[in-house]
Structure 1
């Protein structure tokens, strides 16, 4: 059993901790707004270019990095031709033991096999989301996708490259193997709070921040398409009147570019 840190300390009220967490997340979001605008625009242009030219959009993330990837797939208010690129056992924490997913991120050849048997094709866009960007799976995914002619958008924390070592044989990070880089600004360790009584930092913000970054790209891409005179293929909520019928029409029109339906 882990004992709390010794010594006396005035415990903050629960509301104070909540405020500290919200303030930290908002500060990170403000940094993205102020510092990643050019990257968001570049990523959105790549998405719009692909969709305007008949291409498809894919998103990949392993472990908890899969959550921001899933958040832009089959999403009310999102673009229809955005597809999850799944790696069996590595998407989310649905495997037992959960540590298997982390182990699979260090397996060489897995990303190459997934891409080679997937529906991706030259001209498509692939978002590779990895907080640390240091593991074999995301680095290999990005490198092989580029070799196949995809535009790779890396969503990662550049801070990890300065404070950790790569686990890929090349010694490179995800940030080094992409066409467009989006820096999530998340600090190493992904924890925004600390308490002398608690032996580890806590309060991760990467999911909140990275999901917001992904949604900013998709929203900008939709506006880009509209500016070009192209009606963006948006998904509506199935829980509003007419939503299911709207979506059925969009899915039919874009059926050759949507892979989350049979």
Structure 2
């Protein structure tokens, strides 16, 4: 049965992620250093990699300390065609300069860290996001699908990929092309695996990070269901976590424009006007 085939492939993904335990611990330590310093871990993914951004925060079992950077123009797939359709999103994903424009909104610090997700590691915007982070002294952890990334051609003119701008690279373990199941008499495989592998990575880091924060005397405010802690305590945790997120995020805006200079030209060569 195809169901059994897919589930067996997923068990292999667990093995691949487990073999990266040392790397997962390193990522968790960098993120802990950032959060303990009162700063934020910036999380970015375009296309379906947005799923991993939302898996990190905010959702049940997660906690503040992360800045989810989700650009709707790159990630809103529901309409598929027409206005805000998939064709436009795939085009924008490879527009040079867009990453710099996104990060222009934040006052970044060398105490920050970043997690950039791209299965192929070959689209321009995720690559440039990692590049821009590193220019500002921010440590970058990348989640890619290694086999797929190695077989993919970078959309950047210089051929560089996401892994070229990462301090640490993690692998989802999915195969080339992502889809893991070959159905008899069907030309192309189905059922991708990078989302499963990516979620394993995200939540492994999250668990280790929660341990590090707790042992450092700053246990995280975890979004928790009322069925677990009671409705009153669940509401307290949600409000406290959202307040902490707001306070951390405020620091990213407090000095915007004072420490970063505006570029003299926009992405199409047009002058950028101050506001």
TM over 0.5: yes
Shift of 1:237: 2.7
Aligned to 1:66: 50
Paired residues of 2:130 and 2:162 also in contact (CA < 8 A): yes
Q: Partner of 2:73: helix, strand, or coil?
A: coil
Q: CA RMSD of the aligned region, Å?
A: 1.8
For residues 87 and 118 of structure 1, what CA distance do their matches in structure 2 show? 14
The structure-2 alpha-carbon separation of the partners of 1:54 and 1:155, relative to structure 1 and needing over 3 Å to count, comes to same
Aligned to 2:265: none
Aligned to 2:237: 246
Moved more, 124-133 or 152-161: 152-161
Q: Partner of 2:47: helix, strand, or coil?
A: coil
Shift of 1:192: 0.7
Deviations 1:42-70 (A, max 9, x none): 10001101011111122111111110111
Q: How many matched pairs?
A: 243
Correspondence for 1:185 among 155, 162, 173: 173
- 1:176 equivalent to 2:160? Answer no
For residues 100 and 253 of structure 1, what CA distance do their matches in structure 2 show? 35
Unaligned runs of 5+ in 2: 251-275
For residues 137 and 254 of structure 1, what CA distance do their matches in structure 2 show? 25
Paired residues of 1:237 and 1:243 also in contact (CA < 8 A): yes
Shift of 1:149: 2.2
Aligned to 2:7: 22
Moved more, 127-136 or 227-236: 227-236
Shift of 1:100: 1.4
Paired residues of 2:183 and 2:189 also in contact (CA < 8 A): yes
Paired residues of 1:80 and 1:258 also in contact (CA < 8 A): no
Unaligned runs of 5+ in 1: 1-15
| Structure with greater helix share of residues | 2
Q: Structure 1 length as normaliser, TM-score? A: 0.86
The structure-2 alpha-carbon separation of the partners of 1:76 and 1:161, relative to structure 1 and needing over 3 Å to count, comes to closer
